[in-house]
Chains A and B, each alone.
Chain A
Amino acid sequence: GAVVSQHPSWVICKSGTSVKIECRSLDFQATTMFWYRQFPKQSLMLMATSNEGSKATYEQGVEKDKFLINHASLTLSTLTVTSAHPEDSSFYICSAETTLRRSKNIQYFGAGTRLSVL
């Protein structure tokens, strides 16, 4: 299947600082990327849908000014957690939807980023 790379895999930061997470589709172009958050022993929760060259669409209850999403190219989307606080500590996962004909409409996921805010 297609490969999605997420970086960093693990980050610790101080409260009040900002953290940027990168999501790259390595062997395909992704018009649409998605960002999820997962708390311990819970399921994945969709945060936002990111389309290349346009503003992200956020799910209800997700603060767009706190979770800044940029999808500047067909292979890269970034999520910036601004002014992070301990309650933002979570597992953040991205996915990218391939436009490859043989795998059309399949979302492939990154390995996730574990964020710990002290």
Chain B
Amino acid sequence: DAKTTQPPSMDCAEGRAANLPCNHSTISGNEYVYWYRQIHSQGPQYIIHGLKNNETNEMASLIITEDRKSSTLILPHATLRDTAVYYCIVRVSLYNQGGKLIFGQGTELSVKP
């Protein structure tokens, strides 16, 4: 299973872009990169996922390097409500149904006024 490495914590000023890095140097060719976040005492919330192309949705952008060994989640205009633990996960496949999500320690993002 491909492992991920994230910084344990980051700060970001409200209104500025938050750039959260993730290393996944052992990722396999058919493994996707998923990002979830967990606000205190709640279940994780899906943010975005990608294989090799950059992806954007209403919540964030995901930039994956050409060699796929690392990625960056970008929250374009961070708000106080974005304070959470952000998890970068490489998905282990179970046949064709996706698969297990193995959570690491994540990055605790603190958005400050």
Mark A residues whose CB is within 8 Å of B.
1, 4, 6, 31-32, 34, 36, 43-46, 49, 91, 93, 95, 97, 104-112, 114
* Contact indicator per residue, chain B 94-113, by CB within 8 Å of chain A (1) or not (0): 10011011111110000000
Contacts of A32 in B (CB 8 A): 94, 97-98
Given contacts A32-B97, A106-B98, could you give 7 more A-B pairs where the C-beta distance is less than 8 Å? A43-B87, A46-B102, A91-B41, A93-B44, A107-B98, A112-B41, A112-B43
Q: Is the Cβ of B43 less than 8 Å from the Cβ of A34?
A: no
Q: Tell me the dominant secondary structure on chain B's binding face.
A: loop
Smallest beta-carbon distance B3→chain A, Å = 13
Across the A-B interface, give the 9 residue pairs with the lowest CB-CB distance, nearest first.
A105-B98, A109-B43, A44-B103, A43-B103, A109-B44, A112-B43, A111-B43, A93-B43, A110-B43
- 11 residue pairs from A and B, CB less than 8 Å apart: A1-B46, A31-B97, A43-B104, A44-B103, A46-B101, A97-B97, A105-B32, A107-B46, A107-B98, A112-B43, A114-B41
Contacts of A31 in B (CB 8 A): 97
Q: Which B residue's beta carbon lies closest to that of A97?
A: B98
Q: Which B residue's beta carbon lies closest to that of A107?
A: B101
Q: Is the Cβ of A108 less than 8 Å from the Cβ of B98?
A: no
Smallest beta-carbon distance B1→chain A, Å = 11
Smallest beta-carbon distance A117→chain B, Å = 18
Q: Which A residue's beta carbon lies closest to that of B45?
A: A109
Smallest beta-carbon distance A16→chain B, Å = 27
Contacts of A6 in B (CB 8 A): 43
Contacts of B87 in A (CB 8 A): 43
The CA of A6 and the CA of B41, in the complex, are separated in Å by: 14
Contacts of B44 in A (CB 8 A): 44, 93, 95, 109
Q: Given A49-B94, A97-B97, A97-B98, A111–B103 Cβ distance below 8 Å?
A: no
The CA of A31 and the CA of B95, in the complex, are separated in Å by: 13
The CA of A46 and the CA of B45, in the complex, are separated in Å by: 16
Contacts of A112 in B (CB 8 A): 41-43
| Max chain A Cβ within 10 angstroms of own Cβ: one of B38, B43, B87 | B43
Smallest beta-carbon distance A103→chain B, Å = 9
Contacts of A1 in B (CB 8 A): 46
